[in-house]
Amino acid sequence: MNVLQVSAEIFPLLKTGGLADIAGALPAALHGAGCDVRVLLPGFAPIMADLQQPQVLTELTAPWGETVRICHGELATLGVQAYVLDVPHLYQRPGTPYEDEQRQPHHDNHRRFALLGWVAAQLACGLDAHWQPAVVHSHDWHAALTSAYLAFGPVRGRMVASVYTVHNLAYQGVFAPIHFYDLGLPPHAFSVNGLEFHGQMSFMKAGLYYADHITTVSPTYAKEIQTPEQGCGLDGLLRERAPELTGILNAVDESVWNPATDSAIPHTFDAKKPVGKARCKAALQQALGLSVKPEALLFGVVSRLTEQKGLHLVLAAVDDLIAQGGQLVVLGTGEAALEAEFSARAARHPESVAVRIGYDEAFAHQIFAATDVTLVPSRFEPCGLTQMYGLKYGSLPLVHKVGGLADTVVDCALEHLADGSANGFVFKEFSAAALQRAVRRAFALHDRPTEWRAVRQRAMQQQLGWDKAAAQYVALYRHLLA
């Protein structure tokens, strides 16, 4: 089965969050499940640089008159066939893929990402005579217009199914209505039954409305987004589309996240021989100027510093955590206020709190390897990957019971310790007090070293690989094509 994956990011070439991890892991996972996978990506500089022996497939003129050169080649790092939009003035600029250096959205994002969807639809309709997808699978708002262009585009040469995956409903790609007329979609698409959203144009809504099937990245989040509390204004549409909405839990790319083979950490280890983990902890404490105490319970945060992640609850708990003899290491970047608050805590308690503002892939691995507990107190979390990386690296996740966090972490309550399902700490009410109680449970378990080690060993041995999710995606594709 030929599958075209369409996304704006792909690990390890371009990553701003978990979307990239998933887009980077899916091609191999689906290949393992019998699919012939190709990817379509915007021509950001690291992606162009990785493309081996690029051939120009064709040059096309977008509906708004812009010329796009489509290159085809193999991504050296991933060993996957890729189509890339080679339009340097659109994709090769300072800033992030989405924002300029002043953290403002690029002024022409609607065209930059409409182009991605438009070309995906052309490929679905036979643009490459040598390879045509049976399934076009697009991810997040950046690729969401794929389904709309497919719905209105050239007649599909043969059956092509469209799948749209929501990684985060909160980022919607909403633009002023004036831009709609740039995009070459028929006027009636700008309606309630289309991509109109409170008078604006919403790429997210286009994906949700026009895709043959919608998936999201955990079963619990698939339910949550059908409620007004978490539906971001789209819960009505999602309830209507409930029969075509599935939650498929993300997984861990074990070729990247495996403490037994990880070259980014100073000492490797595994569930049976965890001694390297203690060494990683000592090395990190030393490197960051924390007191080098093996017994100090070390908490870690690796996160975008945004409101979604609930980190103000951690700020509220820091003093309590230190008073109990704990330590905290934070790696993150994002909102200036959160950056400043965390940095201030580190300045106040340098022997107990270390904060690094920035984005550092290797350092993230070192934190999971060194810490005892990974904090993920998100207000909402479609899936969340860091709690799963924590599990793999024996850093027990402490999470708010929401979205994919609820689907992956089981609290160390007595009954779960008894039946062997416990793998972390879960709080239900989204409050500092509830997080603090969970932190105390972590200390309490840590005071019983035999039980701590047993929970940690089971956590590290949990099956978190891609096999299950890949099989679910393939079953879905087959169902849609049947």
Q: Does 384 bind ligand ADP (CB under 6 A)?
A: yes
Verify binding: residue 298, ligand GLC, rule CB under 6 A.
no
String of contacts with ligand GLC for each residue 363-382, x by CB under 6 A: ------------------xx
Per-residue binding string, ligand GLC, 400-429, x by CB under 6 A, is ----x-------------------------
Task: Determine which residue in the list 161, 364, 369, 459 makes contact with ligand ADP, applying CB under 6 A.
Answer: 364
CB 371 within 8 A of CB 300: yes
Q: In this chain, which of 81, 200, 333, 457 binds ligand ADP, going by CB under 6 A?
A: 333
- Residue 218 interacts with ligand ADP (CB under 6 A): yes or no: no
Interface pick for ligand GLC out of 7, 138, 246, 250 (rule CB under 6 A): 250
Interface residue with ligand ADP, options 190, 359, 430, 443 (CB under 6 A) = 359
- CA dihedral for 94, 97, 102, 105, sign (positive or negative): positive
Question: By CB under 6 A, is residue 412 in contact with ligand ADP?
Answer: no
Residue 364 contact among ligand GLC, ligand ADP, none, beta carbon within 5 to 8 Å by kind = ligand ADP
Among 12, 17, 274, 325, binds ligand ADP (CB under 6 A): 17
Q: Which does 69 bind (CB under 5 to 8 A by kind): ligand GLC, ligand ADP, none?
A: none
- Rule CB under 6 A: is residue 332 a binding residue for ligand ADP? yes
Query: Is 232 one of the binding residues for ligand ADP (CB under 6 A)?
Result: no
Considering the rule CB under 6 A, would residue 133 count as an interface residue with ligand GLC?
no
Residue 217 site contact among ligand GLC, ligand ADP, none (CB < 5 to 8 Å, cut-off depends on kind): ligand GLC
Residues paired with residue 136 on neighbouring β-strands, in sequence order: 4, 162
Instruction: Compute the distance between CA of residue 481 and CA of residue 58 in angstroms, rounded to an integer.
Output: 28
Give the Cα separation of 134 and 86 in Å (integer): 24
Cα distances (Å, whole numbers) of residue 32 to 19, 27, 331: 20, 9, 33
Cβ atoms of 123 and 150 within 8 Å: the answer is no
Rounded Cα distance, 330 and 141, in Å: 29
Task: Please report, as residue ranges, which positions from 139 to 178 form the binding site for ligand GLC (by CB under 6 A).
Answer: 167-168
Which one of ligand ADP, ligand GLC, none is in contact with 73 (Cβ closer than 5 to 8 A by kind)? Answer: none
Helix (H) or strand (E) holding 203: helix 203-210
What is the rounded CA–CA span in Å between residue 86 and residue 92?
Answer: 10
Comparing C-alpha atoms, which of 136, 271, 277, 283 is closest to residue 210?
136
For residues 439-465, one letter each, b for 16 or more C-beta atoms within 10 angstroms of the residue's C-beta and e for the rest, the string is: bebbeebbeeeeebeebbeebbeeebb
Q: If binding is defined by CB under 6 A, does position 219 make contact with ligand GLC?
A: no
Please give the single-letter amino acid code of residue 469. Answer: A
What residues have CB less than 8 Å from 395, skipping those under 6 apart? Answer: 300, 367, 368, 369, 370, 371, 372, 373, 374, 389
Nearer Cβ to ligand GLC, position 173 or 384? 384
- Does residue 303 belong to the site contacting ligand ADP (CB under 6 A)? yes
Candidates 384, 390, 394, 465; binder of ligand GLC (CB under 6 A) is: 384
